[in-house]
Chain A
Amino acid sequence: MKKKSGLVVLPVFLWLSLFLVVPMLIVVGISFLRRDELGNLIYQFNWEAYATFFDKLYLGIYWDTIVLSVLTTLICLLLSYPLAYYIARSGPRMQTWGLALVTIPFWINFLIRTYAWVLLLRTQGIVNNLLLDLGWITEPMQMLYTKGAVLMGMVYTFIPFMVLPIYVAIEQMDKRLLEAASDLGASPSRAFWHITLPQTKSGITTGAILVYVSTTGMFVVTDILGGAKSSMISNIIQTQFLGARNWPFGAALSVIFVITSLVLIFLFNRAMTTRVDRVKEGRI
């Protein structure tokens, strides 16, 4: 009987295999195909799509994408850690409220949150108007459709992804360690660098991975705040499938995107552990 009731897992297994695993495998398969002039697939194994990627143009775009994603992750981390720390160290009431306030934007459509920045940043927008009224500038500044706008839009969109896991890590950490440190005469800052920070690296890792991968895959922010000039790997993937109809190339880019993300995640994970181990061996 026990075995039988386990059968109810089956529908989900079938569903996710058919609509998630199989389609992804097909995409991997397509990345090794070619297309004819009309965009139809030619079923013949070759590396053409991958070879196209090693064109200077696309390598450059991918490099820019990685730089933007890393920058976004770093800024999110620097802004989120103190905030998560503040919330986690508040009284229970403040904690509930702080957490709710940080979580709410997560549930508001990112499209809407990105659009808000168009309202603020455009030439006749709220910020320019305010600055003109204050007399701080004499001519409206070009803020929308710049790299800075894209970076800020990304940070704004993904900040909750960073705050939440770090908050959980700080909240769950063993506070007796801090008491012990303080009893043994460690200054608060020393305790922070040698106990709190290493103890919460799991939160940092989760947050960083979420922010990095999401930024790389996000074509909407670039599209809306960066204008036509800036494009990222995800914008190109999108065009290959919806506009240019070069599926093999789009598929190859997707495969490259997922693999580089996995490699970076792996490297980052390793870097985080060795650093912590070093701290553990040396000081604690």
Chain B
Amino acid sequence: MRTKRSPWLGIHALVMLIFIYVPIAMIILFSFNESRLSAEWSGFTLDWYTSLFQNEHVMDALKNTLIVAITSTVAATILGTLAAIGVRRVARKLKLATNALLYLPIVIPDIIMGISLLVLFNLMEIDLSRWTIIIAHITFSISYVYVVVTSRLSTMGKQLEEAAEDLGASPWQTFRFVTLPQILPGVVSGAIIAFTMSLDDFMVSFFVAGPSSTTLPIYIYGQVKRGISPEINALCTLLILVSVALIFLAQYMLGRGKGQKKQRMLPF
């Protein structure tokens, strides 16, 4: 049903979208601005992008970021998918406990997760490195994979799996030939979300990154605290494009599959 809406609602919505997008648009626009310092447009250039790719620190941070994102995504996707499949078959109490445990990383403020991992690594005398960031990222990414795969599983029912088992398939065969093909879009989209989360994470990484394992967001933070620079505009623009592209890809994967009810991708 479409109810009559006051025109003010439409104007408000428009103003809000302008409020949300103008700052982002400014970063993108000024990443192409010729002048290094001015806040006024002085001509188009791609110099900041080329200097970005010649900047050793940026390339180093990019390398760290990608290694962390890829490793943590693979691990979190496997763990999260297994949990989503397994949780349907455990006793009710254990199911509630698992659910609670898996929602924790989403609910707990990032700063708390960051400091508690820092404390853990410190007490265990593990030096902060790429690996500590990877562990941290796996910890928060599992939940996102779990949520997406669970919602996918809930649309498919158990009949096919039960039929496979009745016909003598082993648990592995059932998983490989029945469950996995059906949930694959969910798994892929969960993996993309985990990847994006890892790529973008600052709060947790900030506490568990060692001096030689700077990631892109940590690098950006250091630069931003020193002031603005057109290279940072360019770097931010690239990150914005990558994040948005990945999210559209995840959404597309989730919407695939015949006869499936289209799922909305919300982080909660």
Contact = CB atoms under 8 A, between A and B. Distances in A.
B115 A217 contact: no
B232 A115 contact: yes
Interface in B60-89: 79-80, 82-83, 85-87, 89
Contact of B105 (A20, A82, A111, A126): A20
Given A7-B86, A119-B228, A112 B79 contact: no
A255 B244 CA distance: 36
Interface residues of A, number: 94
A111 B240 contact: no
B142 interface: yes
A99 interface: yes
Nearest to B220: A111
Contact of A241 (B87, B102, B115, B224): B115
A125 B221 contact: no
B80 A112 contact: no
Contacts of B23: 113, 116-117, 119-120, 156
B93 interface: no
B105 A26 contact: no
Interface residues of B, number: 88
A164 B82 contact: no
A107 B142 CA distance: 17
Contacts, number: 249
B154 interface: no
A86 interface: yes
A102 B21 CA distance: 10
Contacts of A129: 39-40
21 contacts: A2-B89, A6-B89, A9-B87, A12-B82, A15-B142, A19-B135, A20-B105, A20-B108, A20-B113, A20-B116, A23-B120, A26-B120, A103-B266, A104-B247, A112-B236, A119-B30, A122-B39, A126-B26, A156-B19, A257-B112, A258-B109
Interface of A: 1-13, 15-17, 19-24, 26-27, 30, 79, 82-83, 85-87, 89-91, 98-99, 101-120, 122, 124-126, 128-129, 156, 159, 164-165, 168, 175, 178-179, 188, 206, 210, 213-214, 216-220, 223-224, 234, 237-238, 241-242, 247, 250-251, 254, 257-258, 261
Interface of B: 1-5, 8-10, 12-13, 16-17, 19-24, 26-27, 30, 37-40, 79-80, 82-83, 85-87, 89-91, 94, 98, 101-102, 104-105, 107-113, 115-120, 123, 135-136, 138-139, 142, 146, 165, 171, 196, 200, 202-203, 207, 217, 220-221, 224-225, 228, 232-233, 236, 239-240, 243-244, 246-247, 264-268
Q: Closest 8 A-B residue pairs measured CB to CB?
A: A217-B109, A116-B23, A23-B116, A8-B86, A9-B86, A6-B90, A12-B83, A23-B120
